[in-house]
A = this chain, B = another copy of it.
Amino acid sequence: MIKIVSKNVIKDGQKDTFIQLTKELIEKSRQEAGCISYHLLQDINNCSVLTFIEEWQDQKAIEIHNNSEHFKRIIPLLADLRIGKSELNLYKEI
């Protein structure tokens, strides 16, 4: 199992658009065979911070996800709405 944490700081005034765009991404990602869970969360202390926390079966499932039509179409749209790059970590259990 691989867990992904992808933290985004959203530009002023773009949060609702960001969330709206993620709805299809979340729905379609959850339907992928290798997806265990896929959530978008908001920081309690900073509402500009929106973070995906995802669980995938293995590296192969992530590769398929990264090459999916919905990922390749929606992720660049989200990138325009955030400040800088997302902070991305891939984790394994110890």
Q: Is the CB of A42 within 8 A of B3?
A: no
* A18-54 interface with B by 8 A CB criterion: 19, 39-45, 49-51, 53
Number of interface residues, chain A, beta carbon within 8 A: 22
Q: Is the CB of B7 within 8 A of A42?
A: no
Q: Is the CB of A89 within 8 A of B53?
A: no
| Chain B residues, CB < 8 A from A92 | 41-42, 44
Q: Is the CB of B44 within 8 A of A94?
A: no
Residue of B nearest to A45 (CB): B90
A-B contact pairs, 8 of them (CB 8 A): A19-B94, A39-B93, A41-B91, A41-B92, A41-B93, A42-B91, A42-B93, A44-B90
